[in-house]
């Protein structure tokens, strides 16, 4: 086996240090690239927040009375020209699906 001199050993140590640094940098870059973008919570209008609270109240009442066996309840809005809260409702109640 060949006897390594001091300069040769330093060269190998230097190569290993560079390879380790490149590997760490590449891993950090891949982890940062694969992280999901956080979606900031958009504010819900007061009317939609009130409607969502009303739906939650009606759902809780249906659970207490045992009428939500099928898991389907229907809701309607009687106010003409009311703000469309369908996106907010989907976001609030459909997040676990």
The tens digit of pLDDT for each residue in 52-78 reads 888 888 888 888 887 655 666 666 665
Please enumerate in sequence order all residues whose Cβ is within 8 A of that of 52, keeping only pairs 6 or more positions apart, or say none.
44, 85, 88, 89, 92
Mean residue pLDDT across the chain: 77
DSSP string, the chain: -PPPPHHHHHHHHHHHHHHHHHHHHHHHHHHHHHSPPP-PPPPPPHHHHHHHHHHHHHHHHHHHHT--TTS--------TTPPP-HHHHHHHHSTT-
User: What pTM did the predictor assign?
Assistant: 0.46
29 or 94, which is more confident? 29
* pLDDT score recorded for residue 6: 66
């Amino acid at each position: 086996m060949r006897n390594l001199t001091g300069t040769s050993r330093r060269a190998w140590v230097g190569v290993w240090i560079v390879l380790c640094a490149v590997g760490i940098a590449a891993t950090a870059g891949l982890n940062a690239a694969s992280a999901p973008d956080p979606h900031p919570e958009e504010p819900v209008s007061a009317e939609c927040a009130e409607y969502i609270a009303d739906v939650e109240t009606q759902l809780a009442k249906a659970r207490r009375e045992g009428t939500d066996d099928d898991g389907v309840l229907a809701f309607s809005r009687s106010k003409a020209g009311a703000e469309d809260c369908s996106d907010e409702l989907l976001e609030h109640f459909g997040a676990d699906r």
